[in-house]
Amino acid sequence: PTNQSLEETKNNIAQFYLANPLGRWGIELKSNGQFIGTIDLHKIDSVLKKAAIGYISNKKYWNQELTTEANRAVIELAFEKIGMNKLTALHDKDNPASGKVMEKSGMRFSHAEPYACMDQHEKDRIVTRVHYVLTKEDYFANK
């Protein structure tokens, strides 16, 4: 979900990103360096060499392939430089555009998770999460 206010964004950056900056990056426009979002590897399991990818981007820049480009770069880094075995990602069923980012990045639909959690911004709304996965074998086979 997107941040609902500047204050919420500041709090998220202060509490989450600055507390543990490794594996978290800003997404910026190549043309002028403007910050438009964040992308990260989290739920990192160093034994099984797997992690989850998460991203948030400014709504003004949706549907321009920018988040897809950032996601592809993190996927490449994870498999080719870090040596990950598997990456996962998930999105709210009501945000299918995020699923398109995952698909265009080479990830495959895994499963839907009904009744996954309550929405953080919309009172009484139950979220269905949609899960995607990409293994190192699939990544290198389709590279």
* pLDDT by residue, tens only, the chain of 143 residues: 566 777 776 666 655 544 555 678 999 999 999 999 999 999 988 899 999 999 999 999 999 999 999 999 999 999 999 899 999 999 999 999 999 999 999 999 999 999 999 999 999 999 999 999 999 999 999 98
Question: Containing domain of residue 14, as a range?
Answer: 6-141
The pLDDT value recorded for residue 46 is 87
Q: Is residue 93 part of a domain?
A: yes
Classify 40 as helix, strand or coil: strand
Evaluate if pTM is beyond 0.95: no
Q: Is residue 96 part of a domain?
A: yes
Say which CATH number the domain at 40 has: 3.40.630.30
Torsion angle, CA of 27/135/130/6, rounded to 10 degrees? -20
From the list 1, 139, 9, the residue with the least C-alpha distance to 74 is 139
Q: Is residue 133 part of a domain?
A: yes
Q: Is residue 126 part of a domain?
A: yes
CA–CA distance from 57 to each of 62, 73, 137 (Å)? 7, 15, 29
Q: Is residue 1 part of a domain?
A: no
Q: Give the span between the Cα atoms of 23 and 38, in whole angstroms.
A: 11
Q: How many domains does the chain have?
A: 1
